Copies of this chain bind each other. A is one copy, B any other.
């Protein structure tokens, strides 16, 4: 249907007759001569309809008409070359024109430099994708898949597809459910991740598994969450943490090479404890310093009651002393929005004197040593958090990021990767923010199949608060882009973990009996990782939202503006699907819900 792709034409083609097919990107009329930019997937070429019949016919062309053109490639007159496009040295003198299909007036212009509302773009995503930016992202994502698979195939990984219609196993998030017409009253669930299946594959001796897997989570859609998302899911047998990390680095390095960035391996590691202490986050953005300072000891005997707390810490805002009052007030609002009471601060004057409401509450000695203790200098503002350790550090960590942005400390062209290792196995249920209440005091930080590390293999259940896991997350510029763990592969260890979590044997059977059964038959040591594919694509594309890297994303509330899904169903559909059937089973005692899977969205 065409002899050449439009974007492929070069000076060397001059003198040839070519047939092109594509869309009218622009049309210009210069004294009866019609110029169009003909766009196809490969690029753009300028087509000229000189005066006479061809120009007549070209008059009816409008933006986004789909056309086929035959013409002669000629070099553009000297001085008329366009160095900005690959085909800028030539143009095509049209000798034939066929309109393949016409286009109605567009709901929005496709000029890539124009801002267009997201809702209308998604409703007409088929037009949005004709724009250079979105089209390029789709191609990048395809390359991301290709490169990751190349790395994995080179290492003999086996790609295995796991089921989409599976069993509901209550987890951190709600399952999407599917009624089973042939067993009315029974429902399938869409998987929150292939976690259980990939572990079963390891028991099955597959040794090296991967899948670019669709996952589903029925959450209240926060700013940038999709009900369905994609992760690169990997599992390996006979490995230790370092093996999984090494593989993860090969994958990540391959991906960033796609955008011309060489990642130096090994990627640095930081312990979870360190990350929390120094950056107030388990996903620290290391593109800039500005570490937190712990002052609990420093204020051990302070007269200031607020600072007599289990934890006191500080972060410095360089030059922050010159903030006007209303900006300091805005910080208080910012902190309150995050659930804190406020954000205490001290301003360091140009002469070194401290001011602000907190300063006068401190002792002379405390005032004297403070600047040095927190590493501040004249003109800075020192923000404090005091209270329970975890939320206080969280507040300071968030303040750190905010300061980084406001003070321009973040190099937006930089890429900073770090592995966060030695995560705790358990956290107190009171501190967990995404898990339903179980019957124990503790919940699994990663998931209940995560193994204690070598130091804690014997003692994790004696000191759950401090026990560390073989769990690892990879963080890029403050975004968690992947995470995994070495799994428990022995029944006795698994029972001890369940015991800490307050999961009875019966409850364990009810929830994942088939996995426990499998583990009775010579389960190999294994571990894995899952990468948040949408987020990684978003970072690589420099996009602002996960929606930009998904071909047909949902907008808020899980609504698809293009197809108008979800939609009402008919009574006949309800009846046939067996939606209303309720089997006569007694509800069981509530079973504690745990995060069973590693999920990356």
Contact = CB atoms under 8 A, between A and B. Distances in A.
B41 A206 contact: yes
A202 to B, nearest CB: 8
Nearest to A1: B238
Given A100-B525, A208-B41, A587-B570, A200 B126 contact: yes
A433 B26 CA distance: 49
Contacts of A149: 146, 149
A100 B493 CA distance: 12
Interface string A559-601: 1101111111111011011011011010100000000000000
B521 A161 contact: no
Interface string A24-68: 100000000000000111000000000000000000000011100
A302 interface: no
A235 to B, nearest CB: 13
Nearest to A581: B568
A262 interface: no
B168 A567 contact: yes
Interface string A179-194: 1111101111110000
Given A160-B138, A514-B564, A524-B100, A177 B573 contact: yes
Nearest to A106: B521
Contacts of A577: 174, 177, 218
A227 to B, nearest CB: 6
Contacts of A106: 521
Contacts of A1: 238-240, 243, 525
A176 interface: yes
A167 interface: yes
A203 B126 contact: yes
How many of these chains are in the complex? 2
Contact of A567 (B103, B167, B208, B551): B167
B521 A103 contact: yes
Contacts of A146: 149, 153, 159
B41 A230 contact: no
Given A153-B146, A203-B126, A587 B571 contact: yes
Interface of A: 1-2, 21, 23-24, 39-41, 64-66, 100-104, 106, 124-130, 135, 138-139, 141-142, 145-146, 149, 153, 157-168, 174-183, 185-190, 196-197, 200-201, 203-208, 214, 216, 218, 220-221, 227-228, 230, 237-240, 243, 489-491, 514, 517-525, 550-552, 554, 557-560, 562-571, 573-574, 576-577, 579-580, 582-583, 585, 587
Given A142-B158, A182-B221, A182-B558, 14 more contacts: A1-B525, A23-B205, A41-B207, A64-B522, A103-B521, A103-B522, A125-B200, A126-B521, A142-B160, A162-B551, A168-B565, A177-B569, A180-B558, A183-B558
